[in-house]
Amino acid sequence: MMSLDLFVVFARVAESGSFSKAARDLGLSKATVSKRVAELEAALGVGLVARTTRRAALTEAGERTLARAQRIIEEADAARDEAVEARSSPKGRLRISAPITFGVRYLAALLPDFLTAYPDIDLDLSFADKTVDLIGDGYDAAVRIRALEDSSLVARKLAPVRGHVVAAPSYWDRHGRPQRPEDLTRHVCFSYANVSSLWRFENAAGERVSVRVENSRLTYDNADAIEPAVCAGVGLARQPDFIAWRDIASGKIEAVLQDWTAGPEMWLHLLTPPGRSAPRKMRVFSDFLHDHFGAGRAPWVTG
């Protein structure tokens, strides 16, 4: 059975281009380094290093083996780091981005519990509706509510989010309740600046309808800003249920076209950068959010 040590010695020889330099770096004798490379070659049945008086050059098989050796060493290092991390309390700073309304209404209320449970983790939170570049802007994770596009980011689904067409009952009483999406063209519609003005609908039969909302009397880029106008009966808006569910339940606003889905299927996601496994501080934060919003626990799902 090939030991990790053989791959470590071979990789050091390959990266340094010298048996002597590899021996110095590893604190071994040159003879020991040469012997271990020979053992790996014998175990694999191929020559890995073309030995010359001036430089240790890799063979074609050696080039392929080096790439594998580097991955093996990286995985071994990751396993060691995780084992060390598991024996200690999660610690460090997490930089998190979240939408404004979700962050203020839901996430902020949970932070005391998280900080109490994990006293060695510091949080740096940014509430903004714009989409941040996790890697370029230096974030550890982002909470996003949308139909997730193809991405190299690692996504953890937490809770479904459904869109609703809503207005105050007084507005519907004055203007009539639409029976089909096309009826919205004669209504006072408010539009969200961060998404398309083309509202898409689909029913259980698979029928799809698109309605373009033009000349909106009120265009907004934050959901909290639209709520007073909707509740006052000035016009209607398309709102996700994580924002509208309490007002719908209380009767302050009324959702229509309930036989239609208003917009694409959306989910509350936690997104993290790609690559090796997330540090423990990130894993406990992800699990914390899942405990509160995953598996049907989100208040707009249970409520």
In the β-sheet with 208-212, what is the strand arrangement from edge to edge?
Answer: 208-212, 198-203, 260-262
What are the residues whose beta carbons fall under 8 Å from the beta carbon of 252, sequence distance 6 or more?
168, 231
For tokens 């449970």, the residue is 117
What are the residues whose beta carbons fall under 8 Å from the beta carbon of 63, sequence distance 6 or more?
none
Please report the pLDDT score of residue 217 as a whole number.
84
Distance of alpha carbon 227 from the chain centroid? 28
Please report the pLDDT score of residue 152 as a whole number.
82
Query: What single DSSP character describes residue 103?
Result: I
Q: Which domains can be identified in the chain, with CATH numbers?
A: 4-86 (1.10.10.10), 92-161+266-302 (3.40.190.10), 163-262 (3.40.190.290)
CB 107 within 8 A of CB 94: no
Task: Measure Cα distances from 140 to 96, 97, 99, 107, 280 in Å.
Answer: 6, 8, 15, 16, 12
Please report the pLDDT score of residue 192 as a whole number.
84
Task: Measure Cα distances from 90 to 78, 282, 286 in Å.
Answer: 16, 9, 13
Distance of alpha carbon 299 from the chain centroid? 21
CB 274 within 8 A of CB 83: no
Query: What single DSSP character describes residue 106?
Result: I
CA 54/CA 161 separation, integer angstroms? 65
Q: What is the pLDDT along the chain (303 residues), one digit of tens a residue?
A: 678 899 999 999 999 989 999 999 999 999 999 999 999 999 999 999 987 657 788 999 999 999 999 999 988 887 887 777 666 778 999 999 999 999 999 999 999 999 999 999 999 999 988 888 888 889 999 999 987 766 788 999 999 999 999 999 999 999 999 999 999 999 999 988 777 788 999 999 999 999 988 768 888 888 888 899 999 999 999 999 999 999 999 999 999 999 999 887 789 999 998 876 678 899 999 999 999 999 899 999 986
Please report the pLDDT score of residue 86 as a whole number.
66
Distance of alpha carbon 136 from the chain centroid? 15
Which token pair is 170?
Answer: 């007084």
